[in-house]
């Protein structure tokens, strides 16, 4: 393997192939970016968490060192050898970082303003080191050394995606994005201040009485440039009462109009406008961040939906394009589908309930696309079309419910009539049953009496067979004769 191939492999890129014996294709000429190139960028060492964390630590250390070096106030190179060696180390580190990122992004490196800013700082640092070694006193380019402190802004960029310091990134990015608006606001404020300075020079500096009575009129309002400085002093409210306001009030009252306009438009108006610009930019950044999150979540859900659709299709054993409840429960029990449902915050039981709810025709089968579409509609935000569809369905169900209620009322009325008829029939049957019961009791009594009669007859017959009739003497009568009685 060649040196170029070994270096490309270490950096996570595809090793260069030997050039074929044919013309270069159009895609190679326009440097088309393929998915493999994006994956190679993601695997690049410059995209690793360790490298970016190391950049943040080194940037913080460099910022602290610049402050310590500035506090020492040493300009001679021989007196600041430790600081110089440390600065060479930091500059070399940032130079290597710049080369790695250029190797990762190629010409797209210069499409990002942050990268151009960092590139400029590295160039200035290298120039400062070269000049420090070339000049006799070793002082270097002090303005370039001072600009190195702005590298601390890169910390906010490096921690862009961290939730802990998201406020720091928004403030820094909002300040940077607001710089064009601040520039134009400063230009407008300068024009307005120039107009007020001209007016102040005419009203106060050109007033004869003010010149005779106010000795410092030439100092504050003698020329336009001095009046412009006076306007700046009034705008910042720096010692204006005793030195400016009271003399103008006493010797040139018309100048108070200029002072009032300066305080109103420049002191309060400019400050509020700048504050509004900052708030607007930070609000826009927050909205962009939220929209980016929503777009990323939507993209992730789309990929998740495609993956779930593939698993549903694989579990369609009869290949009819629909899943019955048995097949659906089977695919829900797989570990991969369980993890994906957890990502959507949906359990297996809830998914089964949704399956039954979406099965409107009660056929017991549902296509995977219908289920996933309904699932993501339930999990997503409600849209106007969904609300209109829901209102239409509710209105239709309301009308159907009224029809069913009216039909149930008619059926209840018919049931009441049938119940009344059944009650009447029941009363008649109860009377007949009572008569049958009494007749049965009389029949039982008759049969019982007949049985007793039969027994009496049988006893008499047996007695007649065993006992014969005869005459038995009874008590004597009064005349002494005996009485006889016939007895069986």
DSSP tag of 206: T
Three-state secondary structure call for residue 376: helix
pLDDT value of residue 302: 77
Question: Could you read off the pLDDT of 425-483 as tens digits, one per residue?
Answer: 988 999 889 889 888 888 888 898 888 888 888 887 777 776 655 555 555 555 655 55
What percent of the chain is modeled with pLDDT above 70? Answer: 73
Task: Look up residue 447 and give its two tokens.
Answer: 């049969």
Task: Please spell the DSSP secondary structure of 152-174, one letter per residue.
Answer: GHHHHHHTTT-STTHHHHHHHHH
Q: Is residue 248 classed exposed, middle or buried when 0-12, 13-18 and 19+ CB atoms within 10 A define those classes?
A: buried
Backbone phi and psi for residue 482, each to the nearest 5 degrees, phi listed first: -85, 150
DSSP tag of 222: S
DSSP tag of 109: G
Residue 255: CB atoms within 10 A of its CB come to: 27
Q: What is the mean pLDDT of residues 384-388?
A: 66
Considering the chain, what is the average pLDDT of its residues?
76
Does the pTM of the predicted model rise above 0.85? no
Is 169 in contact with 158 (CB distance < 8 Å)? Answer: no
Cα separation of 304 and 200, whole Å?
Answer: 69
Cα separation of 63 and 86, whole Å?
Answer: 12
Three-state secondary structure call for residue 336: helix
DSSP tag of 382: -
**Higher pLDDT among residues 455 and 372, named by residue:** 455
pLDDT value of residue 419: 92
Q: What is the mean pLDDT of residues 65-94?
A: 77
Residues contacting 115, CB < 8 A, separation 6+: 101, 105, 109
Confidence of residue 66 (pLDDT cuts 50, 70, 90): confident
Report CA 89 to chain centroid distance, whole Å: 44
Residue 399: CB atoms within 10 A of its CB come to: 10
Question: Could you read off the pLDDT of 143-192 as tens digits, one per residue?
Answer: 555 666 666 666 655 555 455 556 666 777 777 778 888 888 888 889 98
Question: Could you read off the pLDDT of 227-241 as tens digits, one per residue?
Answer: 888 888 888 888 788
Cα separation of 392 and 374, whole Å?
Answer: 17
Question: Could you read off the pLDDT of 273-324 as tens digits, one per residue?
Answer: 888 888 888 788 778 777 777 787 778 777 877 877 777 777 777 667 677 7
Three-state secondary structure call for residue 482: strand
Cα separation of 173 and 125, whole Å?
Answer: 24
Handedness of CA 268, 270, 273, 275 (dihedral sign): negative
């Amino acid at each position: 393997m060649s040196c170029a191939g070994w270096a490309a492999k270490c950096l996570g890129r595809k090793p260069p192939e030997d050039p074929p014996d044919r013309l270069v294709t159009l895609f190679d000429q326009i440097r088309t970016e393929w998915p493999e190139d994006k994956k190679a960028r993601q695997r690049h060492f410059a995209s690793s968490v360790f490298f970016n964390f190391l950049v943040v630590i080194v940037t913080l250390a460099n910022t602290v060192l610049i402050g310590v070096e500035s506090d020492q106030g040493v300009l001679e190179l021989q007196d600041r050898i430790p600081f110089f060696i440390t600065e060479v180390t930091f500059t070399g580190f940032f130079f290597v970082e710049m080369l790695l990122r250029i190797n990762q992004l190629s010409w797209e490196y210069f499409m990002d303003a942050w990268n151009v800013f960092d590139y400029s700082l590295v160039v200035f640092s290298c120039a400062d080191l070269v000049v420090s070694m070339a000049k006799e006193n070793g002082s270097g380019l002090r303005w370039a050394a001072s600009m190195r402190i702005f590298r601390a802004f890169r910390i906010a960029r490096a921690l862009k995606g961290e939730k802990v310091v998201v406020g720091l990134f928004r403030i820094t990015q909002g300040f940077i994005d607001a710089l064009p608006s601040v520039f134009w606001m400063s230009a407008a404020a300068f024009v307005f201040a120039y107009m007020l300075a001209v007016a102040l020079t005419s009203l106060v500096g050109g007033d004869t009485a003010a010149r005779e009575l106010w000795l410092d009129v030439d100092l504050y309002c003698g020329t336009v440039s001095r009046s412009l400085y006076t306007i700046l002093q009034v705008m910042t409210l720096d010692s204006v009462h005793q030195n400016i306001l009271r003399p103008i009030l006493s010797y040139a009252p018309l100048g108070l109009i200029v002072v009032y306009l300066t305080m109103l438009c420049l002191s309060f108006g400019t400050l509020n406008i700048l504050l509004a610009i900052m708030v607007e930019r930070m609000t826009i950044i927050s909205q962009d961040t939220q929209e980016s999150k929503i777009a990323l979540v939507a993209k992730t859900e789309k990929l998740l939906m495609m993956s779930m659709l593939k698993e549903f299709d694989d579990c369609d054993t009869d290949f009819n394009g629909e899943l019955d409840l048995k097949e659906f429960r089977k695919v829900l029990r797989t570990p991969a589908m369980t993890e994906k449902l957890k990502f959507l915050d949906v359990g297996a039981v809830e998914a089964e309930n949704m399956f039954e709810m979406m099965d409107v025709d009660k056929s017991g089968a549902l296509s995977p696309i219908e289920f996933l579409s309904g699932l993501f509609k339930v999990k997503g935000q409600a849209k106007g079309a969904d609300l209109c569809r829901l209102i239409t369905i509710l209105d239709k169900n309301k009308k159907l419910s009224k029809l069913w209620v009216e039909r149930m009322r008619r059926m209840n009325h018919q049931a009441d009539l049938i119940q009344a008829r059944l009650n009447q029939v029941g009363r008649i049957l109860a009377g007949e049953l009572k008569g049958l019961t009494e007749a049965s009791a009389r029949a039982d009594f008759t049969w019982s009496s007949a049985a007793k009669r039969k027994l009496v007859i049988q006893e008499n017959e047996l007695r007649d067979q065993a006992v014969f009739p005869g005459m038995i003497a009874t008590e004597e009568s009064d005349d002494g004769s005996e009485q006889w009685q016939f007895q069986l």
